[in-house]
Amino acid sequence: MTRARNLAGFSSAVSPPSGLSAGIITATAFYGDGSNLSGITAGATLSAASGSQRLVVTSLTSGTMTSAATDGDLAWNSSTNTLSATNVSGTTATFSGDVSIGGTLTYEDVTNVDSIGVITARSGINVTAGGADLKGVLQEKVNITAGKLSDNTNINLTNGMVHYFTTTETTTSTPNIMSTVGINTEMATGDNIAVTIITTAAAAGYSTSVNIDGNYNDVKWIGGSDPTTGGASGLDIYAFNIIKTGSAAYTVVGNLSNAA
């Protein structure tokens, strides 16, 4: 009877007995070209063993394999040369062909986006060069209020750039143009925004100035003078261009027209 020996502590190569076999061999490192290993053929690829779902290395010519896949994480289809995984995490990836994504693609700091469908931006789209070529139907959100401007003076641009009040106006008012985080935060010096306010007209209801983030701002009106009356009927349409000239400083150009 041959007694099993503990090989730990040997500093030189150890030659095992002929015919040594084991279910799993674990070592810190393996050396050699593998030419004497059975079942290894040149040019072979990686495959997943059935049942255990462990990754089996048939041939590894360079690099280091640090871990094996667990159940359900990795699958290799040798007939289609397709490798699939539940989760993939890495630093870089290069694809020479098309990439198809069935769910939602989230990405940051990209140079170009070529989309044939709908692009949804989390906070806005900034076109820095080349201009924007918009084709098809361009839609803009309108915030509709079942009331009058004089009772709802906060014009929250987070809800849209066009605000429509469906109740007939009865008195003068000063719109307060603001946003959830503040116009001064939203805009950089040199930026311009266009705001449209539509009211249900009445002679007694009109506006001559605006507030921005709660602070008074004079309006430079098209035609050179402040409005003195609202429309007799129909809709009064206020169009404001707000140019930020400094911190909490703005030049506001306004125009009032009536659509009866």
For residue 10, how many C-alpha atoms fall within 13 Å in the half-sphere facing its CB? 9
Residues 6+ apart with CB under 8 A from 233: 201, 260
Question: What are the sequence ranges of the domains in the chain?
Answer: 41-86, 142-259
Question: Distance from CA of residue 141 to its chain's centroid?
Answer: 20
User: What is the per-residue pLDDT across 107-131, written as a single tens digit (0 to 9) for each?
Assistant: 777 777 777 777 777 767 777 777 7
pLDDT of 3 strictly over 70: no
Cα–Cα distance, 139 to 137 (Å, whole number): 6
pLDDT at 206: 97
Q: What is the DSSP letter of 196?
A: E
Q: How far is residue 58's CA from residue 48's CA, in Å, rounded to a whole number? A: 10
| Alpha-carbon 45 to chain mean position | 37
- Secondary structure (3-state) at 75: strand
For the chain, the average pLDDT equals 79
Mean pLDDT of 237-245: 98
Other Cβ atoms within 10 Å of 151 Cβ, number: 13
**Residue 35 pLDDT > 90, yes or no?**
no
Percent of the chain with pLDDT over 90: 45
Rg of the chain over Cα atoms, rounded to whole angstroms, equals 35
CA 36 to mean position of chain CA atoms:
53
Mean pLDDT, residues 166-175 = 97
Count of alpha carbons within 13 angstroms of residue 216, beta-carbon side: 5
Q: Would you place residue 32 in the very low, low, confident or very high pLDDT band (cuts 50, 70, 90)?
A: low
User: Which residue from 202, 205, 206, 186 is spatially nearest to 234, judged by alpha carbons?
Assistant: 202
Least confident of 92-106, 164-178, 195-209, 230-244: 92-106
For the ranges 10-19, 45-54, 84-93, which has the lowest average pLDDT?
A: 45-54
Please, where are the H alpha helices in the chain?
Answer: 183-186
Query: Which residues, at least 6 apart from 253, have a Cβ–Cβ distance to it below 8 Å?
Result: 219, 220, 221, 222, 240, 241, 243
Q: Which residue has the tokens 């890495």?
A: 90
Asked whether the beta carbons of 235 and 259 are under 8 A apart, the reply is yes
